[in-house]
Structure 1
Amino acid sequence: MQTSTAPASATTTSVGLRYGLLTGLVSVIISFLLNVTHLEQSPAKWLTLVVLIVGVILAQKAYRRANGDFMSYGQGLGVGMVLTAVSSVLSAIFSYVYVALIDPEMPARILEKGRADLEARGNMTDAQIDQAMHWTAMFVQGPALVGIALVGGLILGLLVSLITSAVLKNPKPEFE
């Protein structure tokens, strides 16, 4: 009986799930801290994008390492999208739970700051500001918030994954 000591290659799904859970958890912690400190509208909100980019890069590198230092563009994209899907679902669930149970006044704060920002610009009439606030209100409350978090996360993750896969790919030579 012969036993193999070669490590089993990782799948795009297994690596994407593992790193998606980690990336999602870190993003949720950062979002929670920003929300609790009422900094959800500050430039610090871009920190979750940095977490996503780092998570995708680390996941793609881990996949490549586990597969003999080879990763096709499609495999890199697959790892990134599985990671993004998992992370986006966690973030969307967190957003809903946070607004529904922990801080129901958060949408009102966002709308209030949005109105103040539009008024400070001084280039819109009151009717235009009211219309903008009406549309904004539809996207920062309830199920729309979850949908925006999910779809926005997936689109952002797709863009990140397309770029990082192109940079980190190392396909197997065809004639070996």
Structure 2
Amino acid sequence: MEIQKTDSKGIIINYGVLLGILSVVLGVIMYVTNAYLNPSFYFSIVSFLIMVVVIVLGIRTYKIANQSYLSLTEALKLGLGIALVGGIIGAIWQLLLMMVIEPDYMMQMADMQREVMLERFPNMTDAQIDDAMAMNEKFSSPWIMMAIAIIGSLFFGFLISLVTGLIMKNKNPYEA
């Protein structure tokens, strides 16, 4: 008995776009509440939970459409695909925020980082703070931040899909 495999592209795109849209909505909420420069820990938790729910639902949808069969490889492929699409959409929002909506975003971020450094390390000299700020500036370009966001999305997508795949896997008895 041959079982037709479900095409994963549609599921990856649908759930990846859903993840991206929810990430953008959360980003807009952070912007409107003025939490975009120094977001609270709760925004990170909500963002992670959104990612978990969307990836698990995408993998579950695939498993149901595939007659309850799911391999770990398929789960990883789905989870990474969803995370990549969602990460790209989220990174585009971040780029739009930094370049169009808040063109002085990088300057605001640097000012905020300087204040945090002064609070945490009051004994630092101005030269030490300037050196630290110069180092931060090297890694704070919009393009590097966009790349880091996509890589982070892939990393967490891998972990989520690995755990989900290990829990949900069900080998097809008709496959060799």
In 2, are the aligned partners of 1:31 and 1:45 still within 8 Å (CA)?
Answer: no
| Matched-pair identity in % | 25
SS at match of 2:78: helix
1:50 is displaced (CA, Å) by 1.5
SS at match of 2:35: coil
1:9 is displaced (CA, Å) by 4.7
CA distance in structure 1 between the partners assigned to 2:31 and 2:122 by the alignment: 29
CA distance in structure 2 between the partners assigned to 1:63 and 1:124 by the alignment: 56
Runs of 4 or more above 4 Å deviation: none
1:13 is displaced (CA, Å) by 2.0
Which of 19, 24, 37 is the equivalent residue of 1:23? 19
> Which residues of structure 1 form unaligned runs of 5+?
1-7
SS at match of 1:171: coil
1:154-165 → structure 2 map (5 Å cutoff) = 154-165=154-165
> Which residues of structure 2 form unaligned runs of 5+?
none
CA distance in structure 2 between the partners assigned to 1:88 and 1:135 by the alignment: 26
With over 3 angstroms needed to count, the CA separation of the structure-2 counterparts of 1:152 and 1:123, relative to structure 1, is farther
SS at match of 1:93: helix
**Aligned residue for 1:136?**
136
In 2, are the aligned partners of 1:21 and 1:86 still within 8 Å (CA)?
Answer: yes
1:59-74 → structure 2 map (5 Å cutoff) = 59-74=58-73
1:133 is displaced (CA, Å) by 2.0
Aligned length: 170
TM superposition score normalised by structure 1: 0.85
1:78 is displaced (CA, Å) by 0.7
Which of 29, 42, 45 is the equivalent residue of 2:43? 45
CA RMSD of aligned residues (A): 2.3
1:64-143 → structure 2 map (5 Å cutoff) = 64-122=63-121, 125-126=124-125, 127-143=127-143
Letter in 1 for 2:42: A
Letter in 2 for 1:170: N
